Amino acid sequence: MKIITLIENNPDTENRLCFEHGLSMLIEVEEKRLLFDTGKSGDFIKNAKTLGCDLHNLDYLVISHGHYDHSGGIPTMLQEMDRIPTLVVGSTFFKQKYKKTGENEYKFNGNSFQENDILNHNIKIHKVDKAVEYLTDHIIIFRGFPKSNEFEKNDSIFYLKKNSLYIKDEFDDEIALGIITDKGLVVVVGCSHVGIVNILDTIAASIKIPIYAVIGGTHLIAADDDRIEETVRALKRLDIKMMAVSHCTGERGIQQIKEAFGDNFIMNHTGNIIEI
């Protein structure tokens, strides 16, 4: 399998690609091609052209959760691409998401499109409501991640708007991608708002295949030292062989994971290519 990071917070080594606060990865496996997240602006399409990646023969478009920095490229796709594949999302993906910016102040933080915008382009939407759902024999979607520990706390700044009320966002729309390889399960995550360890513990309990690698955002950017240390211990407990972090991991999280995994650590920046 091959994973090409089309856009991420950090620039490529040659400074020839766009980068932004967001994440998008092109995944090629088992003769299938998936786009996982779209960044915030649609600039991942420019990067794909620069990298020589064809986005016109995708089998699936998988969006990890309904935040603008992961789904924001979809309107550009609708404008610039003749064919959009099946959109795979969590069953509550289209809820209105907000970020609390001050006392009784909330900023819209969700998708810049509605469900009908997708359907009006004759694009199929596949809503995942099961805990484990196979797209193919080797490609799996996981969702519904109950708490497995006490150190991963829910973000206090993210909310859903229902009618005129703001309620805490539990991120029940968040999904993770699992790919079965000869080396084990490769888990691809977008932001891990529900906690990367909660996600991995749930996956490990639901499928009897060792987790070989974790690729994507681990949402440790606002974590304190205790949570980061506990997270690293859990990653080691799960005997994960490779960590390729992106996006919302944060400098302290990156440094501690790098120290723990050494040569098996990858800073998965814009333009990076991972082959397993």
Which long-range contacts does 129-132 make (Cβ < 8 Å, 24+ apart)? 129/90, 129/91, 131/202, 131/206, 132/206, 132/207
Residue 270's alpha-carbon distances to 18, 20, 52, 209, in angstroms, are 8, 9, 14, 29
Region of 242 (left: φ > 0; alpha: ψ -120 to 50; beta: rest) is beta
Residue 15 pLDDT exceeds 90: yes
Q: Write out pLDDT tens, residues 134-177.
A: 999 999 999 999 999 999 988 889 999 999 999 999 999 999 99
Q: What is the CATH number of the domain that holds 128?
A: 3.60.15.10
DSSP assignment of 89-101 equals: EETTTTS-EEEEE
Residue 7 pLDDT exceeds 90: yes
Residue 30 pLDDT exceeds 90: no
Q: Which of 60, 2, 9 shows the shortest CA–CA distance to 217?
A: 9
Q: Write out pLDDT tens, residues 201-228.
A: 999 999 999 999 999 999 999 999 999 9
Burial of 70 (0-12, 13-18, 19+ CB in 10 A): buried
pLDDT given for residue 77 in this prediction:
97
pLDDT given for residue 130 in this prediction:
96
Q: Which domain holds residue 43?
A: 2-275
Alpha carbons 236 and 84: distance in angstroms, whole number: 39
Residue with tokens 């009908």: 116
pLDDT given for residue 121 in this prediction:
94
Q: Write out pLDDT tens, residues 235-276.
A: 999 999 999 999 999 999 999 999 999 999 999 999 999 999
Mean pLDDT of 31-37: 97
pLDDT given for residue 154 in this prediction:
83
The total of structural domains in the chain comes to 1
pLDDT given for residue 37 in this prediction:
98
Mean pLDDT of 27-42: 96
Q: Write out pLDDT tens, residues 84-117.
A: 999 999 999 999 999 999 999 999 999 999 999 9
Q: Write out pLDDT tens, residues 38-55.
A: 999 999 999 999 999 999
